[in-house]
Chains A and B, each alone.
Chain A
Amino acid sequence: MYAALWRALPGPTWVRAVQATALLALVVVVCFRWVFPWLEPLVPFTEVTVGP
């Protein structure tokens, strides 16, 4: 999977490394801003209120 991704990226090695790092950063940002906030209520370790 990652080998195929690496081969699909254009340019010399250092350009590919930069692109791979940018993709990784993008994944982290998307997770932190949208995926994890959506996921949090589904794994409710952090509920603090009383309610019926």
Chain B
Amino acid sequence: MGRRLVGWAGEVLVTLGVLLLLFVAWQLWWTDVVAERDAARVVEQLRADFAGGPVADGDGAPATDLPGDAVALLHVPRFGADWVRPVLEDTGPEVLATGVGHYVGTAGPGEVGNFAVAGHRTTWGRPFHDIDRLRAGDRVVVETAEHVYVYAVTGHEVVPPTDVAVIAAVPDDPGAAPEQPLLTMTSCHPRYSAAQRYVVHAALAQTLDPADLDTALASATEG
């Protein structure tokens, strides 16, 4: 009887171990598969919407079956010449499982204030995996139906997860009146940890027409 109990206990422990490995496989591999597929689908849909012409700000018909309202397309040439991810409204887990999330209440693309977005560094398509490779002067391009906003990276900081001042209208100076259109990207730091946040700040350098997107991206990639 005792031997049998030990045998069962052993099998339960081995099963738990296998399930734990399965969880790791799900987290590190499957979430990427799902998120990249979803992101590609949303990008395609957004491109079709943009091609349909400018939509009235705010009261345009919401794009169908998007998780959260799509705000823009984000291009970061440093992450790859063809790198593009959708920016969706809100920063909840469902939104971040598809694309980059726009912090509710922060400025919109190109607006004076801080257009603040969050993205995964690992898992779920890991859009901001290489966020630490961004250098001052790198271009971050935000594409909307009406405009293409080219931001230039100004710097980065590593902060505690509770430091909400980094997404303030004037970063690290909450309460100050914004005068400049800025962009802030947040992700986790170090990789595979949630101990800190890696934060990149950028300032608007150029506002272009959608037709100039490819030129802007090409020059950003060369530079």
| Partner of A45 from B12, B30, B103, B194 at Cβ < 8 Å | B194
The answer to whether A32 and B30 touch across the interface, beta carbons within 8 angstroms, is yes
- Give every chain A residue within 8 A of B30 (Cβ-Cβ): 32
Please give the distance in Å from A24's CB to the nearest CB on chain B.
10
Instruction: Given A1-B8, A51-B164, answer yes or no on A46-B26 (Cβ-Cβ < 8 Å).
Output: no
- Give every chain A residue within 8 A of B27 (Cβ-Cβ): 36, 40, 45-46
| Partner of B19 from A31, A49, A51 at Cβ < 8 Å | A31
Interface size on B, residues (CB 8 A): 38
Name, among B23, B96, B123, B193, the residue most crowded by chain A CB atoms within 10 Å (CB to CB).
Answer: B23
Interface of B is mostly: mixed
The answer to whether A47 and B11 touch across the interface, beta carbons within 8 angstroms, is no
Work out how many contacts link A and B, with CB atoms closer than 8 A.
Answer: 72
C-alpha spacing A47/B52, complex, angstroms = 35
Interface size on A, residues (CB 8 A): 18
Instruction: Given A32-B30, A46-B123, answer yes or no on A52-B162 (Cβ-Cβ < 8 Å).
Output: yes
Please give the distance in Å from B170's CB to the nearest CB on chain A.
15
The answer to whether B101 and A1 touch across the interface, beta carbons within 8 angstroms, is no
| Partner of B120 from A46, A50, A51, A52 at Cβ < 8 Å | A46
The answer to whether A49 and B101 touch across the interface, beta carbons within 8 angstroms, is yes
| Contact indicator per residue, chain A 13-52, by CB within 8 Å of chain B (1) or not (0) | 0000000000000001001100010011100111111111
Q: Provide 24 A-B residue pairs closer than 8 Å at the C-beta atoms, listed in order of the A residue.
A: A1-B8, A2-B11, A36-B22, A39-B23, A44-B194, A45-B122, A45-B192, A45-B194, A46-B27, A46-B120, A46-B188, A47-B161, A47-B188, A48-B118, A48-B186, A48-B187, A49-B103, A50-B159, A50-B163, A50-B166, A50-B197, A51-B162, A51-B164, A52-B162
